[in-house]
Amino acid sequence: MTNQRKPRGPYRKSAERREQILQAAYEAIDEYGERASLQDIADRVGVTQPALTYYFPTRDDLLLAVLERRDVLGRELAGGARRDRTMIDSMVAGTRHTTGHPGLTKLCVTLSAAATDPQSPAHGYFNERYRRLTAEVARDLEERQRTGELRADEPADHLARVLLAVLDGLQIQWMHDSTVDMAAIVETFARILAPLAGAGNAEEPAG
C-alpha cells in the first residue's frame, strides 16, 4: 500500500480496527486452530464481542477473512519463489508453510470440505479460490513452456491441477498423521516430474 491517498479520520480508524481484529483472529487460529474463541480474539484487541460483530457479522465471515489472508500470504510466498526459484521449490516452501501453521491448515481443510455444500456461506469463495489458483499456476507453467523450461506437449491446466492436488492431498494425509514428511514426498514428486523439463534438460538445474 502506498502512502498517497491514505484514508483519514473515522474511516481510517475503522479500517485499522478491522485490520487489528483480523490480525488477532489470524494469530489466535494459528495458535489454537478453529477452537480459538471469539472472546479470545476480542480480548487480544481489547474490544467487546459485539464490537467484533460490527466488523465481522458472523463467525464464518471472520474465518473466511482469515483464510483469505492465509491465501494472500501463500501467494506472496509462491510469487516471491516464482521469480528466483523453481516451481518445485515453491511447492516445498508451501509444504513448510502448511506444517508450520497447523491451525491455519486445519481451518482451510475444514472450510473447504464444508464449502462443497452449495448452501455453505463459503461455497462461492472456494469455487473462486480454486479457479484463481489453477489459473495462476497454469499461467506460470505456460510461461515456462514458452521459454522451453518445460515440455509443451501436456496441457498446462492439467499440470496445474495435478500440482494443486498433490499439495492438498498430502496436506490431508499429514493432518491425519503428522509423521508424513510432505517436503520429502514433494521432492520425490519433483524427480518424477524431471523428464517434463525442457528437452535434454531433465538432469540439469532448471532455469
Binding site for a copy of itself (CB under 8 A): 106, 109-110, 112-117, 126-127, 129-131, 134, 154-155, 158-159, 161-162, 164-170, 172-173, 175-177, 180, 184-185, 188-189, 191-196, 202-204, 206
What is the closest distance, in whole angstroms, from the C-beta atom of residue 20 to a copy of itself in the complex? 28
Q: Which is nearer to a copy of itself, 22 or 159 (CB)?
A: 159
- Residue 126 CB contacts under 8 Å (≥ 6 apart), including other chains: 111, 112, 115, 116
What is the closest distance, in whole angstroms, from the C-beta atom of residue 144 to a copy of itself in the complex? 15
Q: Which is nearer to a copy of itself, 52 or 112 (CB)?
A: 112
Q: Which is nearer to a copy of itself, 53 or 134 (CB)?
A: 134
What nine digits make up the cell of 24? 488477532
In angstroms, the CA 200 to CA 198 distance is 6
What is the closest distance, in whole angstroms, from the C-beta atom of residue 151 to a copy of itself in the complex? 10
Short-list 114, 104, 116, CA closest to 33: 104
| Backbone conformation region of residue 5, classed left if phi is above 0, alpha if psi is from -120 to 50, else beta | left
For the residues of 7-44, what is the DSSP string, one character each?
--HHHHHHHHHHHHHHHHHHHHHHHHGGG--HHHHHHH
Do 92 and 81 contact (CB within 8 A), yes or no? no
Do 64 and 121 contact (CB within 8 A), yes or no? yes
What is the closest distance, in whole angstroms, from the C-beta atom of residue 72 to a copy of itself in the complex? 19
What is the closest distance, in whole angstroms, from the C-beta atom of residue 42 to a copy of itself in the complex? 24
Q: Which is nearer to a copy of itself, 27 or 168 (CB)?
A: 168
What is the closest distance, in whole angstroms, from the C-beta atom of residue 161 to a copy of itself in the complex? 5
Q: Which is nearer to a copy of itself, 15 or 113 (CB)?
A: 113
- Residue 161 CB contacts under 8 Å (≥ 6 apart), including other chains: 134
Do 200 and 193 contact (CB within 8 A), yes or no? no
